[in-house]
Each structure stands twice: as C-alpha cells, then as structure tokens.
Structure 1
Amino acid sequence: MRVSVVLLWFCLSCVQLQRADDQLTVGDEQGEQLEVGDEQEEQIEFTQSQIEELKKQNTVAEGSADSVEATGEENSIRRKVAFSYALGLNGNLGPHSNGVIVPFRRRITDVGKTYNTVTGVFTAPFRGVYYFRFNLRGSSFFYSLAVCLYKNRQKILDVTKSPRGWYKYAVGGSTLLLRKGDHVYVVLRSGSQIHDNSDNHCTFTGFLLFPM
C-alpha cells in the first residue's frame, strides 16, 4: 500500500544520508533526514513535530482507504480540493545555512484541508491532475531570492532572483499528475531571504483540475 511506503520512508529517514552540495533543513530542532532530488542529491530534515504530523496524516489516509467509497453527491463534495495560504509573517524569513521548507500559515482558502501548516506540505488525497503556484517576495541588498517547487523528492522547478535592494518576486507554477499520498511543497534555498507583511505578498496556491 502506498501509504505504508510513505510512512516507512519517513520512519527510515533517521538514517544519515550522503551529504549534498545544498542541504534542505526545516526548523532549528534536530530532525530526521530524507533524501530529496533525482539529478542532484539533497537532504531534508524534519523536526519531530513535523514527523508526528505526517504520521497522523498517514493514519487518516489508511482509515479512509478501508472505508466504503462514497457515491453521488457525497463523493463529488469529497473530491473538491483548493487551497491558498499566505506566509503569515511580518518581516523576513532567512537566510539559512541550509534550505528550508516554507511554512505558509495564514489561511486564505482551504477546501479539502489538504495543506498542513505544521509541515508546510500538501498531500494529495487521491489520484488526479493538480495545479500549483507560488509567489514570493524579497527585498535584500545582500541575499538572493531562490525558491524551488518539489514533488516528493523531485525538484520540479527553480526560480532565482539576484539581490538588488528593492522588491523583487519569484513566481512559479506547474501542473502535476499526483497519486494519493504524494507531497508537494516550496523550498527556500540556502542563503536566500523572503519578506512578507499583512498584505500577503508571499503565497502558495493549489487546486485539483480533475481526478484520474
């Protein structure tokens, strides 16, 4: 079962993996590690709180898989997925010595409750084609604005802006075919900085185009 594979993947993540040029780290706590990337091997560290949250998601997914499948209008309602979150920060995020998953925590819209503000990760509730878009702002004279979109361990795209000392935006989007349990998230690369305030300049949005 795919859910069991995902759970096993995170449980085994405490094993130290081969270090890469660019290491992805979440939070200041010492977390467990998970290999990321295909062409360029990278690592990502999850804090204990994030791992516990992912385990909860897997437990819920296993329960839903064993339940009777809904039909008609009920099934149609359950298959609606759309979210949009802002960073929820008044100030700067970064720079960090390693990359970090960007935790968007200010809810704008969340239909289906598929985005986790603790882990910063979207989890596909079922197989389908989804669209994702991020918009991040930087304003530093010294630090670049470099962000990536990831699907599980695969980097989908990378947007980089050089430091200029005035506002600049990193914008990217992609349409992805996901299986149930696949993860999508945004990473702020090492040495980069983003800036946000109550105007919600930094956002992450995703929605289901159609199930498969």
Structure 2
Amino acid sequence: MAVLQMVLLLCVGISFAKDSCSTNVNIYAELEKLKNMDERIEKLEGTLDKVLSENVALKTTVQDSQNKLKSLQMENEALKTTVQDSQNKLKSLQMENEAKKVAFSAGLLESGSGNTGPINTQKTLVYKKVFSNIGGAYDSNTGIFTAPRKGAYYFRFYGHCHGGTTMAVTLLKNGKTQCSLHSWKPASNSNASNGVVLTLETGDQISTQLWANTWVYDDPASYTSFGGFLLFPM
C-alpha cells in the first residue's frame, strides 16, 4: 500500500512537472507576443507622431498659402484702384487737352464774289466759308466766336475793298470795340488787317462789325477773313 502511494505521488509529481513546463512555454509565447505588440504600438505611435507632425506642417503651409493669397488679393485690389485712378487722370487730361484745342478760320463768302455793304447801319459780318472750327466755338450762322473756357486768345481779321468807297471793320468783345481796320476811299484795290491778344472768360463773345456806309469785298480767294485760336488756358 505504501509503495502504491509512492508510485501514485510520483506520477502526480511528474504530471505536475509536465503541466508546469507546458505553462511556462505558453507564458513565454505570450510574452513574445506582447513584446511584438509593444514594438508595433511604438511603430504606430511613431507613424502617428509623424503624421501629426506632417499635418501640422501642412496646416502651416495652407495657412501661409491663404495669407499669401489674401496679400495678393489686397495687392490686386490696390492695383485695380491705382489703374482706375490712372485711367481717371488720363481721361481728365484727355478732356483738358481736348478743351485746349480751340481754333477757327473762315472766309466771308461761302461761294461767288461781291461786296458786302455799304449800308446806313453797322452790320455784323458772318463768315460762311469755314476752313476749320476746332472745338466748335465759332458759329457760322451768326459770325460770333464764343470762348469755351477762360484763357488768352489770339484773333486776326482781314478786309479787302475796291476803289472809291471806304472800308472799315471793327473787332468786338461782348459788343465793345477792341481794334479796327480801315481804308479811306482807296483809288484802287485795298487790303487791311489787324490782330489782337485778348483775355477771355468762359462765354465771352468775339465778332467783327462792318461800319455804316462802308464795304468789304470777297471772292473765292477769301480776301476778307476772320480767325483765332486759344494760346493757353488760364
């Protein structure tokens, strides 16, 4: 009986030893698995950190790009404003330059030939044969030049007559005499001219007037004429 018990105990010990050895082997395997998993976790953490770092860098890049875009948009708006200002200034200069272009020249008769006068009253001479009328300030229906702007203007007028009758023509500013030309009963053909520089305000009117009981002659050669132009604005 004692021997049987010893045999049984020995068998149990051997079985326990085997179970213990088997348990140790499983623990090592699990430890190895845990170690591998820790390594994988560390790699994943490293990868995650790298991704997070790259994401931060990307956010910074995006923010920098947005800032640059905003800066470019602001520069573009400023450029648009500058261009618009330049266009406005150019338009203003063009308009001012156009306003400076004032000049006209006209002969008395549009066609044919003959005398104007003499009559017993003064007569405004209406020059019908318009050679140029830059700025449109001269009215060929009335013979009156109207200043489109304030400035210094130069005017010149010519008269021609045949013998026997006096020729006299006056240049008027707003109806007031400025200067005249005159030829007293020439024996044959006669020419006379005069010119003047006047300071005019916008709307001032210039015309020429034939004296009463005098005459002028004109033909296609335009011996009798009237002209003027803006020297400079003021």
Amino acid at match of 1:107: V
Deviates more, 1:189-198 or 1:87-96: 87-96
Residue in 2 aligned with 1:153? 175
Question: 1:170 Cα shift?
Answer: 2.0
Does the CA-based 8 Å contact 2:158-2:191 persist in structure 1? yes
1:12-27 equivalent positions in 2, closer than 5 A: none
What 5-or-longer segments of structure 1 have no aligned partner? 1-69
Q: d(CA) in 1 for partners of 2:130 and 2:143?
A: 12
Amino acid at match of 1:207: F
Q: Could you report, residue by residue, the CA deviation over 1:35-58 in whole angstroms, capped at 9, with x for unpaired residues?
A: xxxxxxxxxxxxxxxxxxxxxxxx
Count of residue correspondences: 142
Q: d(CA) in 1 for partners of 2:189 and 2:132?
A: 26
Residue in 2 aligned with 1:209? 231
Per residue, is there more strand in 1 or in 2?
A: 1
1:115-134 equivalent positions in 2, closer than 5 A: 115-134=138-157
Q: Does 1:112 align with 2:101?
A: no
Amino acid at match of 1:203: S
| TM-score, structure 2 normalization | 0.59
Amino acid at match of 1:133: R
| TM-score, structure 1 normalization | 0.65
Calculate percent identity across the aligned residue pairs: 32
Match of 1:84 among 86, 99, 105: 105
Q: d(CA) in 1 for partners of 2:149 and 2:186?
A: 42
Q: d(CA) in 1 for partners of 2:229 and 2:201?
A: 14
Deviates more, 1:124-133 or 1:152-161: 152-161
Does the CA-based 8 Å contact 1:147-1:170 persist in structure 2? no
Does the CA-based 8 Å contact 2:157-2:195 persist in structure 1? yes
Q: d(CA) in 2 for partners of 1:109 and 1:153?
A: 24
Question: 1:164 Cα shift?
Answer: 1.9
Residue in 1 aligned with 2:195? 173
Question: 1:153 Cα shift?
Answer: 2.5
| Structure having the higher Rg | 2
What 5-or-longer segments of structure 2 have no aligned partner? 1-90
Does the CA-based 8 Å contact 2:159-2:181 persist in structure 1? no
Q: d(CA) in 2 for partners of 1:170 and 1:99?
A: 19
SS in structure 1 of the partner of residue 178 of structure 2: strand
Match of 2:222 among 197, 200, 203: 200
Q: d(CA) in 1 for partners of 2:127 and 2:115?
A: 13
Does the CA-based 8 Å contact 2:163-2:190 persist in structure 1? no
Q: Does 1:101 align with 2:159?
A: no
Q: d(CA) in 1 for partners of 2:232 and 2:186?
A: 40
